[in-house]
Amino acid sequence: MNQNSIVELLAGWAMERPDVMCAADTKGSATYREMMQMVYYLSEMLRAEGVKEGDPVVVECTQDRAYLALYLAIELAHGVFVPLESGAADARATDIIDDTEAKLYFTQKEYEGRPGWRNGKELKKLAAETLTEEKTAAFGAVDLTKLPYPDPEAVSQILYSTGTTGKSKGIVLTHRNNVACAENVRYGVEMKEQNVEFIPMPLSHSHGLRTAYASILNGSGMVLMNGVMFVKIVYDMMDRYHVTGFDMSPSILRLLFRLSKDKIAEYNDQLDYVEIGSAALPEEDKEHLKELLPDVRLYDFYGSSESGRSCVLNFNSPDDKPKCIGRPSHNTSFVFTDDQRREIHATEDNPGLLASKGAMNMKGYFKNPELTASVMKDGYIYTNDLCYVGEDGLIYYLGRQDDVINCSGVKISPEEVEEVVRHYPNVRDCCCIPVDDPLKGQAPKVFLQMEEGAPEFRRADFMKYCKTAMDATKQPAEVELIDSIPRTYNGKLQRKKLIAREKERRA
């Protein structure tokens, strides 16, 4: 089977496993043949609308089979898929539509002065119309081996990510990049042939999309749902489709714990694995999940939209150690560099900046060659992540270089401080940042978001707790209560916003 693009993989399974379930949502399911039929006719519709090679098509996420089919139809039509999160602010939606000069945009509402709108509310209806008896009969005569599949080096999509800085970047990915990301996931979690993965992660974001790619690469099934807020439906779907894999972010895991307590423990014998990504997993939640699912492989992925799923750790194994992010994934190789990007031997005493190489690495940033050149060279994507290789051969992550706190010559990961602080009574969320200190160079400052209705916060009690729970260099020099810790829509901590706010306050 050719592995040049996700849509070509779908077509291969439509011929080889036509009756295997490909994707399900709360309204029903579609086999590989049915999904390919939807993709084929939706691609014909796109071509009739004038979509040509390289034309961007913006699609607001509806987290269902119809959305997935439209994405793959854009691939088959040789367009460029540009996902937009559900309910995106008008300014963000129009910025993306304008920046890409989108040929069409499928959204819940029309934006004034921007031609090419197609009503996103009609997407399910459009998809359903591709499965009529007449079209099913006609599709039987389509030779899927002769369709004009996209070139693997052609641009497949542009992902706009706010990341942790708040500034939107368009990440350009080829079809080869997508397949390589899918391989990183598939081999990283050791997917089995009959796997069915539950995906509540938004398919407008790189993490959820890449899990969906992996299911198609594997020729197995996926169950799509918009988050886990309706927890009874979550477990009903897990039962109905006999879910064996569960993809989630730390924020989704914590919400699942809040809404259903320890119910996921009932699936210890059914689940083969759980995979987690998109943000750091708190140690408390990690340990609780291990207690609930002792016989399930539990994976934590490290990576980025620019270099997808590049490192993986099974944290329900002896490899699970503090700061460990595991081993390079299927298509990934790493080097470690100093500040001048000279390769070094990175150790715990002399960590280096991580750089990744592999077919999953992005093509570049959209319309921004300067930014691309600042992070990419000779096939490597350079990060600001301070890491090292332990004596056990595993990779350890200390934090982002500009976040790491240099206190009296000791490098402190803010995540280490946050992990301890999170256990203080009534702390809902927290963030640690470096602040200038005249004697130590830098010192930790902690922002706390307390639970609603919590007793009055007593700073002396909090500092006493910190003194008993962490080393002296890691103890916060300052603490400040805040209404809300800034995070992205997928739960990633926006530490830089608090750093900028602190610098402005001290100026």
438-482 pLDDT, tens digit each? 888 899 999 999 999 999 999 999 999 999 999 888 999 999 999
131-165 pLDDT, tens digit each? 999 999 999 999 999 999 999 999 999 999 865 44
Instruction: For residues 396-411, give the mean pLDDT.
Output: 85
Task: Mark whether 189 and 86 lie in a shared domain.
Answer: yes
| Residue with the two structure tokens 């999953």 | 360
Task: Mark whether 216 and 70 lie in a shared domain.
Answer: yes
Which of 271, 295, 330 is the last residue in one of the domains? 330
Task: Mark whether 308 and 407 lie in a shared domain.
Answer: no
4-32 pLDDT, tens digit each? 999 999 999 999 999 999 999 999 999 99
User: CA torsion 501→482→303→204, rounded to 10°?
Assistant: -100
Residue 294: give its domain's CATH number.
3.40.50.12780
The partner residues of 436 in beta bridges, in order of sequence, read 442
Percent of the chain with pLDDT over 90: 86
Per-residue confidence at 36, pLDDT binned at 50, 70, 90? very high
Q: 98 pLDDT exceeds 60?
A: yes
Q: Is residue 481 part of a domain?
A: yes
Q: Is residue 345 part of a domain?
A: no
Which of 276, 306, 330 is the last residue in one of the domains? 330
Which of 277, 305, 330 is the last residue in one of the domains? 330
198-215 pLDDT, tens digit each? 999 999 999 999 999 999
DSSP 111-144: -TT---EEEGGGHHHHHHGGGSHHHHHHHTT--G
**Which pLDDT score is estimated for 75?**
98
Task: Mark whether 131 and 268 lie in a shared domain.
Answer: yes
Task: Mark whether 40 and 179 lie in a shared domain.
Answer: yes
Task: Mark whether 194 and 85 lie in a shared domain.
Answer: yes
Q: Is residue 28 part of a domain?
A: yes
**Which pLDDT score is estimated for 490?**
67
* Domains of the chain: total: 2
Task: Mark whether 195 and 321 lie in a shared domain.
Answer: yes
pTM of the complete model? 0.88
Q: Is residue 498 part of a domain?
A: yes
Positive or negative, the Cα torsion across 338, 344, 349, 352?
Answer: positive
**pLDDT, the chain, mean:** 94
Q: Is residue 355 part of a domain?
A: no
Task: Mark whether 89 and 227 lie in a shared domain.
Answer: yes
Residue 447: give its domain's CATH number.
3.30.300.30
409-443 pLDDT, tens digit each? 777 889 889 989 999 999 999 999 999 988 888 99
Task: Mark whether 213 and 90 lie in a shared domain.
Answer: yes
Q: Is residue 353 part of a domain?
A: no
Task: Mark whether 417 and 287 lie in a shared domain.
Answer: no
DSSP 207-225: HHHHHHHHHHHHT-EEEE-
Contact criterion met (CB below 8 Å) for 74 and 49: no
Domain hosting 24: range is 6-330
The partner residues of 157 in beta bridges, in order of sequence, read 81, 173
In the 8-state DSSP scheme, what is residue 487?
B
Instruction: For residues 38-64, give the mean pLDDT.
Output: 97
Task: Mark whether 422 and 313 lie in a shared domain.
Answer: no
Q: Is residue 414 part of a domain?
A: yes
Per-residue confidence at 283, pLDDT binned at 50, 70, 90? confident
Task: Mark whether 49 and 189 lie in a shared domain.
Answer: yes
Instruction: For residues 279-293, give the mean pLDDT.
Output: 91
Q: In the 3-class helix/strand/coil scheme, how is 428-481 assigned residue by residue? A: EEEEEEEEEECCCEEEEEEEEEECCCCCCCCHHHHHHHHHHHCCHHHCCCEEEE
Q: 226 pLDDT exceeds 60?
A: yes
Instruction: For residues 313-337, give the mean pLDDT.
Output: 96
**Which pLDDT score is estimated for 165?**
47
Alpha helix positions (H), 140-205: 175-189
The partner residues of 399 in beta bridges, in order of sequence, read 386
User: What are the residues whose beta carbons fall under 8 Å from the beta carbon of 42, sequence distance 6 or more?
Assistant: 69, 70, 73, 126, 127, 130
Q: Is residue 181 part of a domain?
A: yes
**Which pLDDT score is estimated for 167?**
63
- Give the number of C-alpha atoms closer than 13 A to the C-alpha of residue 366, restricted to the C-beta side: 23
